Structure 1
């Protein structure tokens, strides 16, 4: 299984037909589920999880398609006579499907209600869980991300070059997978290097674990991103049009993306949330590894609301 979080028990938990998640579990007290981002695994929470397990039941899964969790084939259709948007349906990796995984995981571990925090891709899953399963989510935290619909809205012009991977992995099945599989360590390593404010926060053995995991998951990682160019946008738009909002306490921690891309990040989140604490932070993207004590403190403050 590779690197583990010391002191955590590991379990494989069935969450859907043919899909089980790898999850690290420790501690006691009110439950908190921590979801990792790209290009990482549950290991990104190793410091924060150990801290919070002192007074909470902490559950750190690998998302569907990542790490040691199952990687079902994506639902895609490349028939040229089909609807032109069908290839980006990727329902197996929609955030709605992945959020349902997390609710099923928590219930299988005995928790009908739980707090949920996500980083990057995991934050998109957490956001969707908050909208789709409000009765299950007591508190919500989203780290360094925008909701999918808003992300696409603010990506424009030359500033969108920072998100080239979003556009690459949105392409029809085949080319993105082949391109990335041709040099996976260079591709995934690029983001580990570019986005780290403190490269020393990801030691060599953890970096190797991330690259090993990503190398073995190229099709499912691409499918996750492809879904965010299609079905996830549809779900977000339907919710925004219907006026659905996050009703639980929400904490958002973000780098100052707004200054670079020309938008008000806090205003974007206020449009979705009734009870929002939004903070701009000075860390790099991998904030749970770069400033774990601060992130643990912020999550404890959230749980006290």
Structure 2
């Protein structure tokens, strides 16, 4: 049997696959290393591949849990009669997966570190606000988990796609244009071709990229949007979260999440440590790969309270 594009080997991604079943739908995730758990959540149109460098570096001291959202990466592609491609479904998926890992795979219900990027920040922080007692640390890369900052307007191409029924929306679904564009425009320095292929590979094929389109259409802008409850959290975060050690690694050349998003993270989390990488784009973990890995490792090494050294 020949391998599909999504099953092909990719650079530095030689991890053993794990699967969790949501009814008839299988979700793929990585479970690498031992130690206090790190939960790494990707956004759109990426997948667990984006965390490969952190996993390879941190798995010697931490247990790295890295899911692919359903419909993305190596997870199943159910049709919409079997799965609702909305942010509340993503949050429910995450809650079920973590509960499974705790009850069936021996992970603790304390001492977790949340690491999020793009939509992974929204989904992860929604989970964190429900389970603040499970968390020990938070790491955020270019992302959001709150309403759009004052004065911000979604880029025109995302507005067109989000509107639905437009030529742009059909283009995202019928071609791999959005993933291809992200692999070019999401970085300030060109990715090596094999790495770029790894980013876009899982979305080759019409049936493989419905989630990419639905994530764009699910961007929350008003209270009427299904994803709005995940970001409608008021002007201040709960003290249980703001008291946690937090690291923000930010690419200064992001075309979507600009400086206003970084400012809002720091307003909400005044004690957070921020590291700006002015020459990095949205995929800061690619443009500043070694620096981000070193920054996260150093942060984790300094903040061990509550992580349970015996795990």
* TM-score, structure 1 as length reference: 0.78
Distance change (3 Å), C-alpha of 1:62 and 1:91: closer
Q: Does 1:180 align with 2:172?
A: yes
Task: Determine the C-alpha separation between the residues in 1 that align with 2:263 and 2:24.
Answer: 40
Task: Determine the C-alpha separation between the residues in 2 that align with 1:146 and 1:219.
Answer: 22
Distance change (3 Å), C-alpha of 1:57 and 1:17: same
CA RMSD of aligned residues (A): 3.3
SS at match of 1:69: coil
Distance change (3 Å), C-alpha of 1:132 and 1:164: farther
Task: Determine the C-alpha separation between the residues in 2 that align with 1:219 and 1:258.
Answer: 24
Q: Does 1:100 align with 2:95?
A: yes
Q: Does 1:251 align with 2:247?
A: yes
Match of 1:287 in 2: 284
Per-residue CA distance 1:22-58 (angstroms, 9 max, x = gap):
1122211111122223322211122221011121111
Task: Determine the C-alpha separation between the residues in 1 that align with 2:195 and 2:16.
Answer: 19
Match of 2:308 in 1: none
Distance change (3 Å), C-alpha of 1:67 and 1:243: closer
Q: May I ask how many residue pairs the two structures share in their alignment? A: 282
Q: Which residue of the other structure, out of 197, 203, 226, is the alignment partner of 1:208? A: 197
Equivalent residues in 2 for 1:29-178, closer than 5 Å: 29-74=35-80, 91=86, 96-104=91-99, 106-107=101-102, 108-111=104-107, 112-113=109-110, 114-150=112-148, 153-156=150-153, 160=154, 163-172=155-164, 177-178=169-170
Q: Which residue of the other structure, out of 2, 9, 20, is the alignment partner of 1:3? A: 9
Per-residue CA distance 1:95-153 (angstroms, 9 max, x = gap):
533542553354343222321212222222222222122122221111012224125x4
SS at match of 1:279: strand
Match of 1:81 in 2: none
Match of 2:272 in 1: 276
Q: Which residue of the other structure, out of 209, 212, 220, is the alignment partner of 1:221? A: 212
Distance change (3 Å), C-alpha of 1:39 and 1:140: same
Structure 1: gaps of 5 or more residues: 76-88
Distance change (3 Å), C-alpha of 1:191 and 1:64: same
Alpha-carbon distance, 1:66 to partner: 0.9
Match of 2:4 in 1: none
Alpha-carbon distance, 1:271 to partner: 4.1
Alpha-carbon distance, 1:11 to partner: 0.8
* TM-score, structure 2 as length reference: 0.76
Distance change (3 Å), C-alpha of 1:227 and 1:74: farther
SS at match of 1:68: coil
Distance change (3 Å), C-alpha of 1:47 and 1:255: closer
Q: Does 1:231 align with 2:253?
A: no
Q: Which stretch of structure 1 is more off in the superposition, 255-264 or 101-110?
A: 255-264
SS at match of 2:17: strand
Distance change (3 Å), C-alpha of 1:262 and 1:110: closer
Match of 2:309 in 1: none
Task: Determine the C-alpha separation between the residues in 2 that align with 1:70 and 1:93.
Answer: 18
SS at match of 2:227: helix
Distance change (3 Å), C-alpha of 1:286 and 1:46: same
Q: Does 1:299 align with 2:296?
A: yes
Structure 2: gaps of 5 or more residues: 1-6, 304-311
Alpha-carbon distance, 1:71 to partner: 3.5
